[in-house]
Amino acid sequence: MKKILLLSILLGFYGTLVAQPKQKFSAYLFTYFTGGKGGEAIRFALSDDGYHFHALNNNQPVLNSADISATGGVRDPHIMRAADGKTFYMVATDMNTEKFGWGPDSSMVLLKSTDLVHWTSKTIDITKTFKKFDGVNRVWAPQTIYDPKVKKYMIYWSMRFGEEADKIYYAYANKDFTDLETEPKQLFFKPDGGACIDGDIVYQDKKYYLFFKTEGSGAGIKIAVSDKLTSGYVLRDQYVQQTKDPVEGAGTFKLNDGSGYILMYDMYTQGKYQFTRTTDLENFKLIDDEVSMDFHPRHGTVMPITAKEAELLKAKWGTPEK
């Protein structure tokens, strides 16, 4: 009887392993906006190797900003795969500079999908959701990360009250990813009290690396490191961009072949993107000569995807190859 019971347990365990195979990522999805007239909308591009990207849908929006936002425009899209491996979350700044200029902006857009093609969305106005924050005039560049300790999705973004310095805050999304269920709290405390925006968190070797753009004291990217997701970030007080021009919108993604990470960012005064590669999230090498794109992105993010997911995107929005 004991042997039969042990065999049943082993078979059940093996069946669980078979039912949940590890996904093999062989492509990359770049989600971005372009700026300019009609540019504040979500666009997609694909790559097989993380270096050569081709726009889908002829570099036209894959979602209508008027349908998903309060202002009719979205910027700074961030996309991620959920812990279940089959759900996708995307967040973006609800912002339309064509109609309303540079603010005030108090909302973010939360989107959810199970196939990367069909998305549901919800707009969250921080000033209306939380009375404590009714003086906020900037809610910019949200991103999402899974918190394994509380088993919830944490959204973090930069926020400003009046003329104060921009600071990075965080809150947890509800189960349906349609609202924030906790009051925003400050995530990072810059030692000089200066402004910081465009947060991008990477988890590696049991540490969290927070990339962010400094504001008011140099327009560049620095990193703060912590062994906890929501506190304890210690600043590495050095810039990591490989240019003297102003940059913003750090986006970091892991290469599928395990050779390291790519850190990309928007050289917004030059109208171009720059790519760097790192193996230790400390030293970054310029690799622009290895990268090609048939579009001109603004602040966006890249997510590894499977071959099947890439084919589904091509079937919907056409082959990305010219």
Least Cα distance to 168 among 212, 135, 124, 136 occurs for: 212
Question: What was the pLDDT predicted at 3?
Answer: 44
The DSSP secondary-structure symbol of 165 reads P
Tens digit of pLDDT for each residue in 49-62?
A: 999 999 999 999 99
Pairing of strands 52-55, 292-293: parallel
- Say if residue 104 is preceded by a cis peptide, omega within 30 of 0: yes
What stretch of H or E contains 154? strand 152-161
> How far lies 188's CA from each of 135, 140, 157, 232, in Å?
20, 15, 11, 8
Phi, psi (deg, nearest 5) at residue 15: -65, -35
The DSSP secondary-structure symbol of 22 reads P
Rounded to an integer, the average pLDDT of 283-312 is 97
Question: What was the pLDDT predicted at 35?
Answer: 84
Q: Answer whether residue 16 shows pLDDT above 60.
A: no
CA–CA gap between residue 225 and residue 231 (Å, rounded): 10
What stretch of H or E contains 78? strand 74-81
Rounded to an integer, the average pLDDT of 31-35 is 95
Tens digit of pLDDT for each residue in 87-126?
A: 999 999 999 999 999 889 999 999 999 999 999 999 999 9
Q: Answer whether residue 172 shows pLDDT above 80.
A: yes
Question: What was the pLDDT predicted at 160?
Answer: 97
CA–CA gap between residue 124 and residue 240 (Å, rounded): 32
Quickly state the pLDDT bin for 321 (edges 50, 70, 90): low
Mean pLDDT across the chain, nearest whole number? 92
Q: Are 101 and 129 in contact (CB under 8 A)?
A: no
Task: Report percent pLDDT > 70 for the chain.
Answer: 92
Provide the residue count of the chain.
322
Residue type present at position 40: E
> How far lies 245's CA from each of 2, 171, 211, 248, 274, in Å?
70, 33, 18, 10, 11
Q: Where are the alpha helices (DSSP H) in 166-296?
A: none
| CB neighbour list of residue 226: distance below 8 Å, 6 or more residues apart | 207, 208, 210, 232, 233, 234
Question: What was the pLDDT predicted at 31?
Answer: 98
Q: Answer whether residue 9 shows pLDDT above 80.
A: no
Question: What was the pLDDT predicted at 223?
Answer: 98
Q: Per-residue DSSP letters for 88-129?
A: EEEEEEE--HHHH-S----EEEEEEESSSSS-EEEEEEHHHH
Quickly state the pLDDT bin for 319 (edges 50, 70, 90): low
Question: What was the pLDDT predicted at 6?
Answer: 41
Q: Are 143 and 155 in contact (CB under 8 A)?
A: yes
Tokens representing 54 are 């081709």
